Structure formats: structure tokens, C-alpha cells
Amino acid sequence: MKITMRFLITGLIGVLSCTLQAATEKPLLMEGKKTLYQRVLSIPDARIYPAPDQSVASTEVTPFSVLYVYAREDDWIRVGHDSYGAIAGWMKDDRAITWNQALTISFKDPQNIQRVMLFNSKKSLQDLVEGYDTDTYQRLYQSVVDGDSGADSPVIAIQPEAHVDIRENFYLVPIKQYEDIFLDNEQARLLEIASVPLEVSKAEEPGPAEPEASPRSYRSGIHFVIDSTSSMGPYIDRTREAVTRVYSAIEKHGLTNQVSFGLTAYRDNLEQVPELEYLTRQYVSLEQGADAEQFLDRVNSLSPAEVSSQDFREDAYAGVMSAIEDTDWTDFDARYVVLITDAGPRESYDALGTTGLSAKALRQLAYDKGISIWVLHLRTPVTAADHKKAESLYKELSLYPGIGDFYYGVNLGQVDEFGNVLEILANQITQQVLATTKGVPPIPLEQDVAIQPPVQPSVQPQLADLQGRVARLGNALRLRYLQRESGEPLPRVFSAWIVDRDFINPGRSSVDVRVLMTRDQLSDLKNVMQQVLELAEEGVLSPQNFLDDLKSLAATVSRDPAAVAGSTSSAGANLAEMGYMREYMEDLPYTGEVMDLTIESWEEWSAKVQIEFMNRLDSKISYYQTLHDHTDLWVTPGGGPVTGSSVFPVSLDLLP
């Protein structure tokens, strides 16, 4: 279990409802700070009580929720979701990690570098770093990846294989402490991080992932979403035929009720062509589709539209969204939506689309419910002009993190090829259910790259590739199911040590160290830096006044003007010492070139170097502004709309 334990990479900001307290109430300040408040992160098992008393009713807190500390009383802390008095309640202080510096990491895409290994102790990693022992490191890495790491291995987990972009999917891997070191000849940092195993975080989520009291069978739900516009008649018929055959196989293996089919048909915008009758219509639910007879009875009434729609695009996203939202997926461990269409979809910007969603947004909606979307794209000659665009969007829609896309293009829309592929894939899912039922163990996640499809791979490379991905997805789902059903206890939270550089190529960083900044802090930083930039611009054109201008500005932007008066008189003072340093940046493990700038160095620089410096500063300000304006990137602790307290992990490299 040790090596298969992956750590949490998921949305983690709490979603507790909270009671708004008096707006004047402020959190406790950090020692020696004037504007920075004490912050903690909740760990799994943390609960919020209305009073410091464990006998009263409490609510669970999402692991790693960011909380402000408003009061301390014995071994209790009073916490809130923001610094404006939104008190959540009381929490035992051993259920929280002190996290004043708000440092976190984001992983680099492991496509071209090795995944980051998490070590169980500082010493075990330090020993490797100090001797720069690449041989031992490589041996450890290989054994972890191969899944044959011994019980005495110092590695307790490894970075997930799939890259998760923190800008798209917010996650927290908080840094508890750090230490500057050299890895070979490169400056690097040892970081102690906290995390929770993936399955713990899933267990915290309400809904279908909750373990049941008694074991139950592994179930797969396959919900077809079929384009039922006028051109689709032959494919609807062939789908019926394919499903009929798969039902026979299911019955033969005694898996009735363990594989279920649903079906939703969709057409297009009714405002443009009312004769289309419906935009989406569910013909069979997964519950009904557990029974072959019911499924076929209901699908018999499905027929293609008798009129043509507006153009060669249809509102496929409406159909997929209906399948995601209007289907009860609760009892299904493996959840698939299979889109069958010969037309491109209507993207978020398409005025005729009804969902307003992009492929990426819709995919996320499905992923949040544990559903993978597959697309069988019938590339008929009639829609040839749209094939490329449609393929690109459908690949985006069907992308499953860590595995790849589940897109299959049926060349020329050949009905036989379509039917064969559908049967092969449905049978493959059935085989996975059968394997689980028979107790065939899944392959550990770290080895699943090499998984081959359990059925004879097709001679068609496209189908073989897809079968490989289906096998890997099925394996991961089975593994998750078995872990959940086994009830094997997992640690609630663990600490580990990593190095922030690629061990083999220390010139490249393996993680970004980030600081969780509030939107208000970023706005302040942007405003101050904008003023510095304006001075620098003037300083490039007319250098003689630059020093005096910087001093004057320091007096207005500093939080401690008295200190500024002293510091600016001393020769060699840098911008940080002159009063430009913001309190929320103090004590962070970074050295930004802007804060390090001295008048002496500025004056020594050539015009070219000054201009390059100015451009870099300008670029950072532009980033702050863009980030600030992108409200979709900000996460609000405790939920709710984006406010000044909403947070985003800003890379230390982007600080001034």
C-alpha cells in the first residue's frame, strides 16, 4: 500500500457554510506582524464545533481548508474562512497545521522530467543530496515506478503521472518548512510538505464514493448519447444491434444488473428548427437499462428526425450534459458516457448552443462526477469540412487526466466499423466487471502504463490505442473500488520531504514553490509595482531624478514611513530596505530582483540593462493584472463569490 498511496491533488478549499460575524472582528496577528493574520490548514478528521466542547454536534471540514485563527483557548482554536469576521466555529488545534507562510507547491509536467519522489524523512533525502548519489536515486526511482519497492524504501509516495495544471484545477500541497541546499552545483531547496492519500480525500466527499456498510458488486454504467438528427438512422439501428449482443454476453457471464445501459438522444436548437421536436430526450435510464428487454423496448421508439437541422453542427454538449446531470450514477463504480455523432458540437461561443459550455468545462463537469466521456465520431463525407475542428473538440471533451483521450474517428462513417468498435468496447467493459467479480486483482497504478487490453487488440492502431486506454481506465476504477470495499485503513495525513529540482538534471526545477496570496494582496502588489515601473520608465529617459523620486514614493507606499526615512539615507539600500517590501512577502524563500535593486546598481547599468529590467517588471505587473481580472482562477475559502479574500497560488518566481 505504501507505494500505491498517491497523494491528494484535488480541489481542497472548504465548502462549509459559515455564520457571518461582526465585520469588525479580526483574526489574531502573526507574531511581529502588523497586517498578517495567523492561518492554519485543517487536516482530515477535523471538525468544527459551535463551542469548544466535543460533546456538541459538529460538522466535518474538507481536508486542507485554509482557515484564519480568531482565538485560542486551551487546545482549541476559533477559526474563520476569511479575515473579515466570517467565523466558522471552534476546532481542536491538533486537527490543524500551522501555515502562516502560506507556501505551497505545484508540480511541473512530468512529461520530460522524472516524477517527484516523496521521502519519509529529511535525512534519507539529505543523504542522497549531499553525496549527489544519482545511482541510488535512480535505483529507488525505478523500483517505485516498477512497483517493487521494498518495505525499507525511504520513498513513501510519488508524484501522479498525470499532470494537473494548478491554474485549471486548484490543489494544495502545503509546505511546512524548507531548507536551502545545493544539489550538485545548483541552488535548491529541501521542502517538507503535507498531504493526504487520494482515497482519504475521496472518502471525505459526500455522495457515491461513500463506502457502504456491506460489500456489493462492482457495477458499470454506460450511458449512450446519440445524435438523432436525420442522418443518423443506420447508426441508431446498429447501436441497438450491438447492445443486444452485449446483453447476451452479460447474461452468459451471469452479470445481469452489473452492467447497465442508458440512452439519451439529442438534436439541436429548437428555436431555429422547431420541427426537430426536442433538444434532448432520455429514452432509457441506467436503472431501466439494467434489463435488456426494457432497454430494447424503450429504444425501439427512437427514430431519426425527419427534418434537417440548421447546419452541420449539432448541440452534442446538451446531450452529454443531460446524461451527466439527469442520470442517477450513485450505484455505479465505473461511469461512462458514450457520445455517438456525425456532427461537430456547438462550443461555448456558438450562439446556437444551449449549454454555454466549452469542451473543457463539460469534461470537468463529468470528471467531478467520476464519469469518463467517450466519443465515436462518424466522419461521414457530408461533414468532411468540419472533421478537423470537430475531432479537436471531441478529443478535448474526452480527455481523461493521466490516461488520454477516448476519441475514435470512424472513417467515412462506415456503419460496420462503427458497430464493431462499439461492441468491442462494451465487451471490454463487461470483461472488467467479470474480472472484478471473479476476484482477478487489478494491476498497481504505478505499473498500469504497461497494461494491455484484456481482449485481443485490434489490428487497427486507432482501436488498439483506445482499447489500451480503456484497459487502463478500467484498471484504475477497479483498484479504487477494491480499496474502498476492503476498508483497509489509510493514514489520514502524512508529511514527506522532496527536493525542488530534478535530481538527475538539477538545472531544471521539478516543482514551483508558490505562495497563496489573497486578491487584495495581489492588487496591492500590482499598484505598488506599477508606481515603481513608472519611476523606472522615467528613470530610463531622465536618470537624474530617479533616486529622489524613489525615496518620495517609498514614503507613500511604505507601511512604516518612519523606518523608510532612516533606511533611504544609507548608501546601498535596496528597494526592500527602502520600504517597498510588502509584509506578505517578508520571510519568503525568494530573492526578487526588484526588491534587491539598489540605486548604485541602477546607475551602473547600461540603458539596455535598465530597459530589460523594466520590461521584466512590466511583464510581472501585466501578469498580476491579468490574474487579478481572471476571476475564474480565484478560489474563495469556504465557497461563495470571489472577493478580496479569495486566494491563488502565485509562483515565487513571479514576485518582484
CA distances from 23 to 2, 26, 66, 72, 222 (A): 46, 8, 19, 19, 50
- Rank residues 464 and 540 by Cβ distance to another protein and give the closer one: 540
- Rank residues 34 and 608 by Cβ distance to another protein and give the closer one: 608
> What are the backbone dihedrals phi and psi of residue 498, each rounded to the nearest 5 degrees, phi first?
-135, 165
Q: How many CA atoms lie within 13 A of 81 on its CB side?
A: 27
Decide: helix, strand or coil at residue 222: strand
Least Cβ distance, residue 360 to another protein (angstroms): 10
Least Cβ distance, residue 541 to another protein (angstroms): 5
- Rank residues 148 and 612 by Cβ distance to another protein and give the closer one: 612
- Rank residues 330 and 619 by Cβ distance to another protein and give the closer one: 619
- Rank residues 241 and 537 by Cβ distance to another protein and give the closer one: 537
Least Cβ distance, residue 536 to another protein (angstroms): 12
Residues 70 and 67: their CA atoms lie apart, in Å, by 9
Amino acid at the residue 315 = D
What is the bridge-based pairing of β-strands 39-42 and 66-73?
antiparallel
Least Cβ distance, residue 622 to another protein (angstroms): 6
CA distances from 610 to 539, 552, 597, 604, 614 (A): 9, 21, 11, 9, 6
Helix (H) or strand (E) holding 245: helix 233-252
Least Cβ distance, residue 112 to another protein (angstroms): 9
Amino acid at the residue 7 = F
- Rank residues 43 and 362 by Cβ distance to another protein and give the closer one: 362
Q: Is there a contact between 225 and 320 (Cβ–Cβ < 8 Å)?
A: yes
What is the bridge-based pairing of β-strands 19-20 and 86-92?
antiparallel
Least Cβ distance, residue 634 to another protein (angstroms): 13
- Rank residues 29 and 607 by Cβ distance to another protein and give the closer one: 607
Least Cβ distance, residue 577 to another protein (angstroms): 28
- Rank residues 210 and 603 by Cβ distance to another protein and give the closer one: 603
Helices 359-368 and 387-397: angle between axes, nearest 10 degrees: 30
CA distances from 201 to 44, 49, 138, 172, 218 (A): 8, 21, 30, 12, 21
- Rank residues 24 and 606 by Cβ distance to another protein and give the closer one: 606
Taking the CA atoms of residue 588, residue 589, residue 594 and residue 597 in that order, the dihedral angle to the nearest 10 degrees is 110
Least Cβ distance, residue 501 to another protein (angstroms): 17
Cβ neighbors of 321 (< 8 A, separation 6 or more) are 355, 357, 362, 365
Least Cβ distance, residue 626 to another protein (angstroms): 5
Least Cβ distance, residue 608 to another protein (angstroms): 6
- Rank residues 209 and 611 by Cβ distance to another protein and give the closer one: 611
Residues 451 and 440: their CA atoms lie apart, in Å, by 14
Least Cβ distance, residue 543 to another protein (angstroms): 7
Least Cβ distance, residue 272 to another protein (angstroms): 28
Q: Is there a contact between 513 and 193 (Cβ–Cβ < 8 Å)?
A: no
Decide: helix, strand or coil at residue 74: coil
- Rank residues 162 and 607 by Cβ distance to another protein and give the closer one: 607
Number of neighbours of residue 265 by Cβ within 10 angstroms:
26
Residues that bind another protein (CB under 8 A): 109, 537, 540-543, 606-608, 611-612, 615, 618-619, 622-623, 626-627, 630
Decide: helix, strand or coil at residue 267: coil
Helices 607-629 and 519-541: angle between axes, nearest 10 degrees: 150
Residues 106 and 511: their CA atoms lie apart, in Å, by 6
- Rank residues 444 and 543 by Cβ distance to another protein and give the closer one: 543
Q: Is there a contact between 578 and 586 (Cβ–Cβ < 8 Å)?
A: no
- Rank residues 72 and 630 by Cβ distance to another protein and give the closer one: 630
How long is the chain? 656
Task: Identify which of 69, 57, 66, 50 has the alpha carbon closest to the alpha carbon of residue 14.
Answer: 66
In the 8-state DSSP scheme, what is residue 448?
A: G
End-to-end CA distance of the chain: 43
Q: Could you tell me the maximum CA-CA distance found in the chain, to the nearest angstrom?
A: 89
